[in-house]
Amino acid sequence: MVLRQPLCYFENLASLPCSVDQCEIWLVVARNNGLQNFDNIKGNRNIVSQSPYPRAFESASSPNYFLTKLGVQASFPCAELLGLRYFQVGAEGNCTSSNCNGFLPFASTVR
């Protein structure tokens, strides 16, 4: 799956507790009840360390979501940039660490 980068979206977030070179932007990849599962724990301070990849989609009782890092806030400016900028979900292939950008389940619909 290929997504356009979220350019300009993070431009005016001055209330964040970090600088634009330090604030990390994460993508949540979810299917079925995964979005609800993520919503239930998203306020947890340790959420990044609890990202369930590679077991995110193993069975019916799996969390059905994982997080992967897109970059820092400064990476998504409003300035005109040459070319189309995108992020490919699953680009790291068959990775085994949490928070990696691994393969999505075959023939699944994610949001």
Q: What's the pLDDT tens digit per position in 78-107?
A: 776 677 778 888 888 888 888 888 888 776
**pLDDT of the residue at 96:** 82
**pTM, full prediction:** 0.77
Sign of torsion over alpha carbons 30, 34, 35, 39: negative
CA gap 83, 23 in Å, rounded: 25
Q: What is the mean pLDDT of residues 27-31?
A: 88
Tracing tokens 């999505």 back to the chain, one arrives at: 104
Where residue 110 falls among pLDDT bands split at 50, 70, 90? low
**pLDDT of the residue at 31:** 86
Long-range contacts for 56-60 (Cβ within 8 Å, ≥24 apart)?
56/29, 57/31, 57/104, 57/105, 57/108
* H/E run at residue 71: strand 65-72
Q: What is the CA radius of gyration of the chain?
A: 15
CA torsion angle for 6, 11, 16, 19 (degrees, to 10)?
Answer: 100
Beta-bridge mates of residue 25: 71
**pLDDT of the residue at 81:** 67
Q: Do residues 73 and 25 touch, judged by C-beta distance below 8 A?
A: yes
